């Protein structure tokens, strides 16, 4: 999904950036599994919608990044939802490889079970071989 | 789902609060629809896990609140997932009524269609009759 410049501007007008950011919740477009949650500034949203690949703002590194720019695990945008406040976007994406930098398909690979936090998913790849 | 005090403390040790907050993504425990995204401070997480009902921190009102305290639309916790960074929790809940204060089941009732943001869900209730 790629939007025209005018369409992107129209979406941006409906958003409410807090401290310059909106929250992005990202799901697998097929099985709707939540893959990750990250942050976007205005430019990250603009690039995501115009190029059709997920871009984020790193609060720690204070820079724009495209998911997969190092790992190849890009996220192709398939659908976009906006919440009532306009400060959170929900994206359905085609995830190449895994979303999690720790090697899992989803960042939510830990679950509470009998009151304990346990890993309940298998790792897809070895992060040290993917992120150099 | 209600945790013992020691179990709650153990979960809290695995979390990484940023500016005192973690992000909470909330899904319907049955169909996995994303209902809302909100924020939690340490006390909101503690109450959520020990009482089994979703509690949040309002960044605008700067106060703790329980979902449904005014509307009756409470969220009963069924499962909890924690992301790789420990700064986002994913909750599966049994949602009574609708999650959105605008009267919808989910806060994500708007979707991009042909480049335009459109409402694609029907309202469940009239907010002015529920929030007094």
Identify the contact set of chain A against chain B, taking CB-CB distances under 8 A. Answer: 1, 3-4, 7, 10-11, 14, 18, 23, 25, 27, 32, 34, 36-37, 59, 79-85, 88, 90, 100-102, 104, 107-112, 115-117
Contact assessment for residue A21 and residue A5, using Cβ atoms and an 8 Å cutoff = no
Distances from the Cα of A8 to the Cα of A1, A3, A61, A96, B63, angstroms: 12, 6, 26, 24, 35
ipTM of the complex: 0.95
CA distance A35 to A33: 6
Confidence of residue B95 (pLDDT cuts 50, 70, 90): very high
Residue B1 has pLDDT above 70, yes or no: yes
Fold entry, domain B5-98: Ubiquitin-like (UB roll) (3.10.20)
**Cα A72 from chain centre:** 14
Token pair, residue A117, equals: 């936090």
How confident is the model at residue B114, as a pLDDT? 92
Given the structure tokens 């115009």, which residue do they identify?
A: A50
Of B14, B25, B80, the CB nearest to A34: B25
DSSP H helical ranges for chain B? 5-13, 42-51, 127-130
Beta-carbon contacts of A53 under 8 Å, excluding residues fewer than 6 positions away, are A47, A66, A67, A68, A74, A75, A76, A77
Of A4, A7, A84, the CB nearest to B107: A84
Token pair, residue A84, equals: 């009532």
Instruction: Give A5-99's CATH code, choosing from 3.10.20.30, 3.40.50.300, 3.40.50.1100, 3.10.20.810.
Output: 3.10.20.810
Which residues of chain B does A111 touch, with a Cβ-Cβ cutoff of 8 Å? 79-82
How confident is the model at residue A130, as a pLDDT? 76
pTM across the whole model: 0.96
Q: Report, as an integer, the average pLDDT of B43-67.
A: 97
Q: Where are the domains of chain B?
A: 5-98
Mean residue pLDDT of chain B comes to 96
For residue A132, count other CB atoms closer than 10 A to its CB. Answer: 6
């Amino acid at each position: 999904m790629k939007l025209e410049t005018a369409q992107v501007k129209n979406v941006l007008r409906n958003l409410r950036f807090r401290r310059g950011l909106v929250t992005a919740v990202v799901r697998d477009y097929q099985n709707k599994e939540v893959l990750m949650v990250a942050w976007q500034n205005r430019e990250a949203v603009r690039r995501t919608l115009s190029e059709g690949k997920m871009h984020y703002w790193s609060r720690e590194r204070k820079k724009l990044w495209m998911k997969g720019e190092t790992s190849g695990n890009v996220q192709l945008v398939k659908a976009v939802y906006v919440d009532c406040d306009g400060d959170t976007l929900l994206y359905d994406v085609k995830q190449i490889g895994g979303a999690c930098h720790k090697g899992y398909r989803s960042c939510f690979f830990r679950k509470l079970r009998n009151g304990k936090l346990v890993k309940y998913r298998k790792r897809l790849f070895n992060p040290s071989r993917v992120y150099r």
